[in-house]
Amino acid sequence: MELRPFGTTDLKVSAVGIGCNNFGIRLDSAATRRVVHAALDAGITLFDTADIYGRRGGSETMLGEVLGVRRKDIVLVTKFGLPMDDGGRCQGGSRRYIIEALDASLRRLKTEWIDVYYFHRPDPATPIEETLRALDELVRAGKVRHIGCSNFSAAEIEAAQSVARASGLTPFTAAQEEYNLLSREIERDVLPAIVQEKLALLPYFPLASGLLTGKYRFGAPPPSGTRLSDARYSDRVLNDDNLRVVARLTDFCAARGRTLLQLAFGWLLAKPAVASVIAGASTPEQVRANVAASEWLLSPEEAAEIDRVTAR
């Protein structure tokens, strides 16, 4: 497994990371253990979870139980900010809540520190300086090594980094954004801001909720039991335009003896800002397939052709 720099930090992370959002929902404890052990055996070092995953805490709890002494061998990423209760108290970026949320995550994960702690979504009700000051306290206390942002606009990234610089606070070192062959909106404003600030980019939904796995065909219903058989996901990406692009990409891969999965990973890993591609898995076989898919190094000509195929 290739190890890649994580932005400007001293961390090195595996080119493929494991997304832990299935733990505690689609996967029980035994299935989670099989996936985690398969990831470790394959050389994956980056594990990405969040307090909200697994019906509010389930993913962190399962991951903490399974990792055990292997905790020291990985880069552990988790997030805060999305609602953890129904009353609206446990959410957002206030200092009060961040301290509370971090301690709860540490307990669930059975660890004393988080390698990268992400602000899951901007909180318009809290000044970014308050959020950054709270996160800076956690870094200085040794509970968090690095901080990042997720789902931030370019303006929000730039504003946060400016506040951190002006106030001598710990800046963001990483960003998570939706980015894949079918969702390239961040290239307009967000990606240039990430590059300008030298942040590590961790794309999520690299397979467009499964549309880039090759399981879906134009004119055919989604296979039963797949993610895109659920309207929550299919309504976002399953449409004729995307299916036509997928068909062209499939032909592109077939002409080169490659798979659509290899293209989805290889295309992202060719982007200079990308530190690791986060992909979920529900079986050890999926883990191994994701790792193997990262081995296609696209030529400049192939990358240019893909840009033409996916242009909207």
Q: Which residues are bridge partners to 148 per DSSP?
A: 118, 174
Nearest Cα to 14, choosing from 34, 39, 49? 39
Average pLDDT on 224-232 reads: 64
Which residues are known catalytic residues? 53
Q: Report all structural domains of the chain as residue ranges with CATH numbers, in order of start.
A: 3-210+262-296 (3.20.20.100)
Structure tokens, 259: 């798979």
Residue 294 scores a pLDDT above 60: yes
- DSSP of the chain: --EEE-TTSS-EEESEEEE-TTBTTTB-HHHHHHHHHHHHHTT--EEE--TTHHHHHHHHHHHHHHHGGGGGGSEEEEEE-S--SSSS-S-SS-HHHHHHHHHHHHHHHT-S-EEEEEE-S--TTS-HHHHHHHHHHHHHTTSEEEEEEES--HHHHHHHHHHHHHHTPPPEEEEEEE-BTTB-GGGTTHHHHHHHTTPEEEEE-TTGGGGGGT---TTSPPPTTSGGGSHHHHHHH-SHHHHHHHHHHHHHHHTTT--HHHHHHHHHHTSTTB--EEEE-SSHHHHHHHHHHTT----HHHHHHHHHHH--
Q: 172-211, pLDDT tens digit by residue?
A: 999 999 999 999 999 999 999 999 999 999 999 999 988 9
Structure tokens, 271: 């982007």
Write down the pLDDT at residue 66.
96
Structure tokens, 235: 């309504």
Structure tokens, 53: 């995953």
Q: 251-280, pLDDT tens digit by residue?
A: 999 999 999 999 999 999 999 899 999 999
Residue 227 scores a pLDDT above 80: no
Average pLDDT on 14-29 reads: 94
Nearest Cα to 290, choosing from 33, 46, 28? 46
Q: 134-178, pLDDT tens digit by residue?
A: 999 999 999 999 999 999 999 999 999 999 999 999 999 999 999
Write down the pLDDT at residue 311.
79
Write down the pLDDT at residue 241.
87
Which single residue is written with the structure tokens 């129904």?
86
Q: How many Å apart are CA 220 and CA 210, to the nearest integer?
A: 15
Write down the pLDDT at residue 16.
96
Write down the pLDDT at residue 88.
86
CA-CA distances (angstroms) from residue 99 to 19, 26, 82, 133, 288?
24, 29, 14, 11, 37
